[in-house]
Structure 1
Amino acid sequence: MTVQWSALIVVSFFGAYLGPALAAAPDAVREFAGRVGPIVGQASACQDIAQGRVQTIVDKVREVIRQASTNDGERDQLTRAFNGYIADGRSRIGASQASCANAEKQLVELERSLSQPAAAGPRPSSPAEATTGAVTAAEVRGVTDREIRFGMVLPFSGVQKEVGHEMRLGIETAFARANEGGGINGRMLRLVVADDGYDPNRTAAAMAQLYEKEQVFGFIGNIGTANAQAAIPYALERRMLFFAPDTGAASVRRDPPDRYVFNYRPSDAEEAEALVRYLVKMKRIPPRQIAVFTQQDALGDDGYAGVAKAVRHLNISEPVARFNYPRATIDVDDAVNQIKAHKPAIKAVIMVATSRAAAKFIEKTRDAMPDLICATISVVGSTALATELKLLGPRFTRGVIVTQGVPAVSGYSSLVLDYKNALTKFAPGEAPDYTSLEGYIAATILIQALKQTNPLDTERLVDTLESMRSLDLGLGAPLSFGRAEHQASHRIWGTALDENGTYQAIELE
């Protein structure tokens, strides 16, 4: 590292404290971020380098960006650029010891450069601020001697309110079960919720309510794909855990993964691909007679991408027909009419939709296309879909296929039995449901990690999650995270509705 390079880092970092010069030079900050980002990115990809060291530097750079920015737009732009530089560094690092040894050397030089001029700036106001890697008040917000508060943004009304209710129910049931056993080292778990109405334009305000007013420690179980896209930047900027959102979107599964974003469920693309294999191999339907009915947004895009990828794997170059409906509506008439008129005749439709839109689609195609196979991925909300179809009658429920990211709620695996017993005890009158089971599983994973993290702060919790391997909760499939893997499960289960509107397990392969 040259003297000039070292001086650039020092001036850039401490300029935020020494005067207005840096605030007038966002280009200097961008250059600073462009030099530091690849170094910390490479270091973060090496197993033997403590991530707390990396995070300390990341925090310093983000503070430079915050103080140097004249408005929110400029700050967001610089932060995205810095995150991109980190990702570039992670993608370029090799797996060899030599590569990581070089990353370690660069990191040490960077740490030395950043620490050299500490005396030039104002003295820290407290011992905690002076300690590298110390847990500050901001990092333990939502944690007291008595409780740990988590936030959840969900729709209280609208087309996804049932899904929101079930996800919340599952999480709160797992929290109640843990609290009965003493909580997390004597601290009780509490879930605080905010409503965004399934409208991504309201999501940031709901996140701010939970962060600023409720002072939550992290987020769990947020509902919606477009909503998650609005929520994640808010959480990342504040280094807040964003755990197990109810979405299979690719935007929540970046490669390399965002440090604070963790998923339980399989992706939408994985579920859609499983349905294609099932329809082609088990039902013997030609790929050119399979269509996709999707909500017109990122959710639909991800599902369609999974179908298209699966068809390509079958060495079929012909594009898959796609028919859309407007997001957060049940306006499916145009899509239905187009499918009815399509040549060759469509024999199966993979739906990537909300429960009411999917039910309306089935209702409007059943008479004209009685042999049409309707299948959907789990984001639809299994119970909500079954409830809608049962109101229409047995011929509308029979044979509707739904992939699941959890085992059958009618099954007897140890975790499913624990879930149903907990539901009976802590939520009497609530029926077992696939979405609430998912919430229960996700919360149970988080509880396991919380119990292993002491003292508790976000960075240590993330490190704990990334070290979890082959976690056996009794699902019949092990769950794992890693530094490069923030999705616990890739297992997909198959179910189909019978004439009574009850889900029966089916083999997908």
Structure 2
Amino acid sequence: MSTALSGPAQSIGTQMKQGVEACFNQVNDTGGVHGNTLKLVVYDDGYEPDRCAANMRKLIDEDRVLAVIGNTGAPNAIVSAPIAREKKTLLFAAATGAPILRPTPPERYIINYRAGYDQETAVIVRGLAEAGIRPGEIAFFTQNDGYGDAGYNGAIRALAESGYAGGEKLPRGRYTRNTVNVENALATLINAKPRAIIMVGTYKPCAAFIRMAREFLPDTLYVSLSSVGSLPLARELEKEGEGIIVTQVVPPPETDLPLTAEFRQAMARNADTVSGFTALEGYIAARILTEGLKKAGPAPTRETVTDGLNQIRDLDIGLGLPITPDDGTHQVSHKVWPTILKNGRYAPLNWSDLRKQN
């Protein structure tokens, strides 16, 4: 894994790492896979593509890993995918919905767990319409890189599919990755007085933006994609986070599902871990990869691990949806869970309830 363990996105990478490790520890405690102990090798890339590329080559060439799991972010996916393809090494469950990892037809060595940004933004656009917000009343706050562009372009496509052709003319403010310099982005949006702002960023700049924006736009809805880092966003904002909407690509960790119960139990073993959405995503990814390793046999190789994952059909891991990685899309889940921050916790969102408030 190459992920952000330092810098403004470190909580996202740390939670992804903790979720994978919690699963691996559970498996190892029961004898591993075919007697083999699972080990996660992790390098910090600080959410910077150049460092991620170096880490990918080190993981594959020097550490000789069987697969790479849980890399964080669209900018890093842009450099990870070609290396995985070149080295014929599985890149599984990257923590991003970026389209670059979802080509048609799908590629052998790239398999995703989570819903794509196109799917998340489609849910947001439909939801805002249900809440009584017209397309022309939407604006965007995005990271100025491949991540921000991927989420923004997904929303523009969703708007076009809904019949609105003027998406590209809607106000858009941007900020530089790994900074909280959001003032210029806010200045771009204030005069438009949008009723909803779709945010495609990480938690620190999004929190800084929301705090400033609410002084000028107190009645605006602030809606973010899952990759923001839900729990750290809530911590950054504290009481100022009330009413923030975040789409999720896993169910709430408190959900009464067999898998979420196992996850909570696994995370409780280490007092330094946090049982949040991102950690659950890592845990789910590791559970699925473990099943692929079982199918790969007692002497796995990169090719047999990739084959093993692709051989999984309608696997039930207690998540409430059948797991089939090789479903024609190389994406395990297509589901999105909208949530709203209330009293410091994320609750399931019914978009029509917002219409009553507005």
Task: Give matches, 1:227-376, under 5 Å.
Answer: 227-281=76-130, 283-320=131-168, 321=170, 322-342=172-192, 345-376=193-224
Is 2:310–2:326's contact at 8 Å kept on the other side of the alignment? yes
Residue identity opposite 1:162 in structure 2? S
Distance 1:269 1:220, change over 3 A: same
Show the counterpart of 1:504.
347
In structure 2, runs of 5+ residues without a counterpart are 353-358
The SS at the match of 1:192 is coil
Describe the superposition over 1:145-169 as per-residue Cα deviations: whole angstroms up to 9, x where unpaired.
xxxxxxx111221111111100000
Partner of 1:449: 292
One-letter identity of the residue aligned with 2:287: T
How far does residue 326 in structure 1 lie from its aligned partner after superposition?
Answer: 1.6
1:432 to 2:275 alignment: yes
Which residue identity lines up with residue 339 of structure 1 in the other structure? L
Considering fraction of residues, name the structure with more helix: 1
- Indicate if the aligned counterparts of 1:389 and 1:501 stay in contact, CA closer than 8 A: no
Q: Higher Cα Rg: structure 1 or 2?
A: 1
Query: Deviation of residue 459 (structure 1)?
Result: 2.1
Deviation at 1:263, TM superposition (A): 0.6
Q: TM-score, normalised by structure 1?
A: 0.67
Structure 1 residue 260 displacement after superposition: 0.6
Aligned length: 349
Identical pairs, percent: 38
**Equivalent residue of 1:188, what SS?**
coil
How far 1:212 sits from its partner (Å)? 3.0
After superposition, what is the alpha-carbon deviation per residue over 1:35-92, rounded to whole angstroms, capped at 9, x for unaligned?
xxxxxxxxxxxxxxxxxxxxxxxxxxxxxxxxxxxxxxxxxxxxxxxxxxxxxxxxxx
Unaligned runs of 5+ in 1: 1-151
1:193 match: 42
Please give the alpha-carbon distance, in whole angstroms, between the structure 2 residues aligned to 1:453 and 1:485: 21
Question: Does the C-alpha gap of structure 1 residues 341 and 477 become closer, same or farther in structure 2, counting only changes over 3 Å?
Answer: same
Distance in 2 between residues matched to 1:188 and 1:200, nearest whole Å = 30
1:250 and 1:473 mapped to 2: Cα distance?
26
Deviation of 1:429 after TM superposition, in Å, equals 4.2
Please state how far the C-alpha of 1:504 moved relative to its aligned partner: 1.2
Q: TM-score if structure 2 supplies the norm length? A: 0.94
Q: In 2, distance between residues paired with 1:236 and 1:489? A: 22
Deviant stretches of 4+, over 3 Å: none
Shift of 1:230: 1.1
SS at match of 2:296: coil
1:483 Cα deviation from its structure 2 partner = 6.2
Quick check: 429-438 or 450-459, which moved more? Answer: 450-459
Aligned counterparts of 2:113 and 2:158: Cα–Cα separation in 1? 22
Partner residue, 1:223: 72
- Asked if the contact 2:66/2:305 (under 8 Å) is kept, the reply is no
Aligned CA RMSD, in angstroms, stands at 1.4
Partner of 1:482: 326
From 405, 409, 412, the counterpart of 2:249: 405
Q: Within 1, Cα distance between the matches of 2:33 and 2:318?
A: 21
Q: Given that residues 156 and 164 in structure 1 are in contact (C-alpha distance below 8 angstroms), is that contact kept between their aligned partners in structure 2?
A: yes
Alignment partner, residue 415 of structure 1: 259
Change (3 A) 1:314 1:232: closer
Matches within 5 A, 1:105-144: none
Tell me how far 1:351 sits from its aligned partner: 0.4
Task: State the AA in 2 paired with 1:403.
Answer: T
Q: Structure 1 residue 477: deviation in Å?
A: 2.2
Q: Distance in 2 between matches of 1:327 and 1:431?
A: 25
Deviation at residue 508 of structure 1 after TM alignment: 5.1
* Structure 1 contact 194–209 (Cα < 8 Å) conserved: no
- 1:235: how far off? 1.9
